């Protein structure tokens, strides 16, 4: 291939385009899709994507249910992301503060990032108490229907945000009752990077019971303090 061919913007790799289309499609479909459904969604016929699907499955990026024939994303991309230096650095720099926070408030806490329009948990510190609510590292949740997602996606011009929540989000945090998990109040604080933008979110799924030795207000303050500590380690001076 000539240098001119390499530099021309019209140059493309059809097989790579197909693979990326399929990966991006399945990233939004936790329930998976059949070969025919994938072909329809990416505007190809089955014969055009057959070899690409086979290769992605062989390389471990997709798994296929032998009964339904549905393809779903494996954790291979998540593993690749964890090998990526910026993310690995974020996990390393946050490990100590997360552990100290969990010990201080006697609750579990976790760190999440925006993963292609979804909340992805990348680190967690378990509660030292005999009870607690923990989330699996690698778990994926909606960006639009979680407090963590609200913090990760918030911008000053965000619409459809309740006034009482907007005031908190403007200060880089959010506390609200979890709409799915009964008895859990989500306490979330933004982690900011060197340029001041939100790069991650620290979440405490707070459980308030007679066994809770630390009250909600103290947990909120501790979570925000820990978020500032991690942000400072990333070079941020914001919030």
Domain final residue pick, 53, 74, 95: 74
Which range marks the domain in which residue 220 is found? 80-233
Kindly report which listed range (45-49, 85-89, 183-187) carries the lowest average pLDDT score. 85-89
**228 lies in a domain?**
yes
Per-residue pLDDT tens digits for 9-21 = 456 688 899 999 9
**176 lies in a domain?**
yes
Q: Are residues 170 and 84 in the same domain?
A: yes
Mean pLDDT over residues 157-184, rounded? 88
Domain final residue pick, 74, 98, 119: 74
Residues 16 and 61: their CA atoms lie apart, in Å, by 14
**239 lies in a domain?**
no
Q: Are residues 26 and 136 in the same domain?
A: no
**68 lies in a domain?**
yes
Domain count, the chain: 2
Domain holding 84: CATH number? 3.30.450.40
Domain holding 9: CATH number? 1.10.10.10
**66 lies in a domain?**
yes
Mean pLDDT over residues 136-161, rounded? 87
Who contacts 178 (Cβ-Cβ below 8 Å, separation ≥6)?
A: 147, 184, 185, 186, 205
Give the pairing type, strands 140-142 and 118-125. Answer: antiparallel
Q: Are residues 154 and 214 in the same domain?
A: yes
CA 167 to chain centre: 23
**238 lies in a domain?**
no
Q: What is the largest CA-CA distance in the chain?
A: 72
Residue spans of beta strands (DSSP E) within 24-166: 62-64, 71-73, 109-114, 118-125, 140-142
- For residues 204 and 173, the answer to whether their CB atoms sit within 8 Å is no
* Mean model confidence pLDDT for the chain: 87
Q: Are residues 118 and 150 in the same domain?
A: yes
Q: Is 157 helix (H, G, I), strand (E, B) or coil?
A: coil
Q: What is the pLDDT of residue 82?
A: 59
Alpha carbon distances (Å) from 9 to 1, 21, 31, 89, 121: 14, 19, 36, 34, 36
Handedness of CA 220, 233, 99, 118 (dihedral sign): positive
**173 lies in a domain?**
yes
**199 lies in a domain?**
yes
Q: What is the pLDDT of residue 215?
A: 93
Domain final residue pick, 16, 47, 74: 74
Instruction: State the pTM of this model.
Output: 0.67
Residues 103 and 97: their CA atoms lie apart, in Å, by 10
């Amino acid at each position: 291939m000539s240098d001119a061919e390499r530099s021309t913007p019209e140059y493309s790799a059809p097989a790579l385009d197909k693979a990326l289309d399929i990966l991006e499609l399945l990233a939004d479909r936790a329930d998976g899709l059949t070969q025919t459904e994938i072909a329809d969604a990416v505007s190809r016929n089955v014969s055009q994507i057959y070899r690409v699907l086979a290769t992605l499955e062989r390389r471990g990026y997709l798994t296929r249910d032998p009964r339904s024939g549905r393809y779903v994303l494996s954790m291979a991309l998540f593993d690749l992301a964890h090998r990526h230096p910026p993310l690995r650095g974020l996990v390393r720099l946050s490990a100590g503060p997360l552990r100290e926070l969990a010990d201080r408030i006697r609750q579990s806490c976790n760190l999440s990032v925006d993963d292609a329009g979804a909340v992805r948990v990348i680190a967690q510190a378990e509660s030292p108490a005999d009870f607690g609510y923990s989330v699996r590292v690698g778990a994926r949740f909606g960006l639009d229907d979680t407090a963590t997602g609200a913090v990760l996606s918030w911008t000053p011009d965000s619409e459809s945000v309740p006034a009482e929540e907007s005031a908190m989000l403007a200060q880089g945090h959010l506390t609200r009752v979890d709409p799915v998990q009964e008895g859990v109040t989500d306490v979330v604080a933004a982690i900011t990077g060197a340029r001041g933008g939100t790069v991650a979110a620290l979440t405490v799924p707070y459980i308030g019971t007679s066994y809770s030795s630390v009250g909600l207000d103290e947990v909120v303050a501790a979570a925000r303090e820990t978020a500032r500590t991690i942000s400072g380690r990333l070079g941020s001076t914001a919030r």
